């Protein structure tokens, strides 16, 4: 099929590349001229394992093209995907202006029967809004239908997740539309749920809000483990063995971040309050996550003593490993708090430093993890990169002024680190010092 994907961010690029790899002809459109110029030169503006190779292969084979002009892409396509951002407003509601703008553009250029599929994360009812906007702009000349196909991609493994999903969710108002969208995914062996549009929209935000809640739950348990001398890793392992619960997202740490969990949880809160409901659990989820960042700083002060004038090395800036995404990253809040406290920060991240340099002025950036810890009074680990797991801690200790590690992702073997002479604090697993 001929497809148009509007939006060249994480979701749009992965969707475009993967559909083209499945044999479809894809036109990916974005208003960001710099981004499209980079893509047409073979450069991918985001760090995502496997994506650059996938884009290069399908561009060579002529199945994937990038443009800033939406009209020709809409007119030549049978199915149009909306994959633009819906960032949070200051009141927590999703900013839907980009989705609405794309819907207006689609309506203006509609030239035949089309299926418009929303992949952007939106509140319940946005499918009706998109349909209304297109209907108003098309002038009644052409038929179209709107569907919802929420994405469940994890940054750092998005290409794998697209090709090997837990489930494919399609929301549509009629069987013909649902089948048209379902045909795109036939080469992928996955469970498929076909439902109504509003339920599909709800599935996406409810999934993210639940996972955020699961993370905050284990972080709250970690705080109790610190007090009573239990190991949250062992607790999570035992709890996760229960098939009703599962082990995923039970890793205690410095808190969740990224473009989805914070935004979608706040959006769900806003929608519930608008509908006259009290989102008690979700509000607590957000509060626990905010406090978790403060707990990391408290552990650092406890382990290293007064921080003013000290040098703290930070391993990890991205909100998670295998990405360069700094949106809502724990590191940003913590580093800013350290700078306000008069701390010198020297940071290293395998992928996120180019973006961090603009976002975090006043900190030093290291060549590698060992350069970061040179003469540092403490090491703070904030992202779970494999590179940090495999680091030579004997060398780290020899380079540091003081042997202090605060492990915000529980990467280290606690006993081994302490046997080397480090003062060590993890999350919910510190045990006796």
Phi, psi dihedrals of residue 301, rounded to the nearest 5°: -65, -40
Q: Bridge partners of 423?
A: 404
Q: Bridge partners of 9?
A: none
Query: What whole-number distance in Å separates Cα of residue 407 and Cα of residue 254?
Result: 9
Cβ contacts of 368 within 8 Å, gap of 6 or more: 348
Catalytic residue of the set 4, 28, 225, 260 = 260
Joined together, the tokens standing for residue 210 give 């639940």
Q: Bridge partners of 406?
A: 380, 425
Three-class secondary structure of residue 135 per DSSP: helix
CB-CB contact of 216 with 115 (8 Å): no
Residue 161 parent element (H or E): helix 158-163
Which residue bears the tokens 């985001």?
Answer: 46
Joined together, the tokens standing for residue 146 give 């709107």
Three-class secondary structure of residue 396 per DSSP: helix
Which residue bears the tokens 């190991």?
Answer: 231
Residue 58 falls in which region: left (phi positive, over 0), alpha (psi -120 to 50) or beta: alpha
Which residue bears the tokens 């379902």?
Answer: 182
Cβ contacts of 9 within 8 Å, gap of 6 or more: 30, 46, 83, 84, 85
* Segments in 316-428 forming alpha helices (H): 330-340, 353-359, 369-373, 386-389, 393-399, 414-419
User: Known catalytic residue: 260?
Assistant: yes
Give the residue numbers annotated as catalytic, written as ranges: 260
């Amino acid at each position: 099929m001929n497809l148009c994907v509007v939006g060249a961010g994480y979701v749009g690029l992965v969707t475009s590349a993967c559909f083209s790899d499945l044999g479809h002809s894809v036109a990916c459109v974005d208003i960001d001229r710099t981004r499209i110029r980079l893509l047409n030169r073979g450069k991918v503006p985001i760090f995502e394992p496997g994506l650059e190779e996938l884009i290069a292969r399908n561009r060579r084979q002529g199945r994937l093209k990038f443009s800033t002009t939406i009209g020709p892409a809409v007119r030549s396509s049978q199915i149009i995907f909306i994959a633009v951002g819906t960032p949070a407003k200051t009141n927590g509601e999703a900013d839907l202006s980009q989705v609405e703008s794309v819907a207006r553009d689609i309506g203006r250029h509609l030239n035949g029967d089309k299926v418009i599929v929303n992949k952007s994360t939106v509140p319940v009812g946005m499918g009706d809004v998109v349909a209304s906007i297109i209907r108003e702009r098309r002038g009644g000349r052409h038929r179209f239908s709107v569907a919802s196909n929420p994405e469940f991609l994890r940054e750092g493994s998005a290409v794998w997740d697209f090709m090997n999903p837990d489930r494919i969710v399609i929301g549509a108002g009629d069987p013909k539309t649902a089948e048209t969208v379902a045909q795109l995914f036939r080469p992928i062996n996955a469970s498929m749920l076909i439902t109504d549009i509003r339920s599909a929209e709800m599935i996406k935000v409810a999934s993210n809000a639940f996972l955020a809640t699961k993370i905050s739950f284990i972080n709250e348990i970690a705080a109790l483990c610190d007090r009573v001398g239990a190991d949250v890793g062992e607790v999570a392992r035992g709890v996760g063995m229960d098939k009703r619960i599962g082990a995923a997202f039970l890793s205690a740490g410095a808190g969740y971040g990224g473009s989805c969990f914070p935004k979608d949880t706040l959006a769900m809160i806003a929608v519930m309050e608008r509908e006259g409901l009290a989102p008690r659990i979700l509000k607590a989820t957000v509060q626990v996550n905010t406090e978790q960042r403060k707990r990391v700083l408290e552990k650092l002060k406890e382990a290293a003593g007064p921080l003013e004038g000290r040098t703290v090395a930070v391993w990890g800036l991205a909100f998670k490993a295998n990405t360069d995404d700094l949106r809502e990253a724990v590191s940003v809040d913590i580093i800013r708090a350290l700078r306000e406290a008069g701390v010198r920060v020297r940071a290293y991240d395998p992928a996120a430093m180019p973006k961090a340099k603009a976002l975090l002025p006043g900190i030093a950036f290291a060549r590698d993890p060992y350069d970061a810890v040179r003469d540092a009074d403490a090491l703070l680990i904030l992202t779970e990169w494999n590179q940090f797991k495999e680091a030579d801690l004997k060398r780290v200790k020899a380079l540091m002024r003081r042997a202090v590690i605060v492990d915000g992702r529980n990467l280290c073997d606690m006993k081994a680190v302490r046997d080397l002479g480090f003062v060590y604090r993890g999350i919910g697993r510190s045990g006796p010092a």
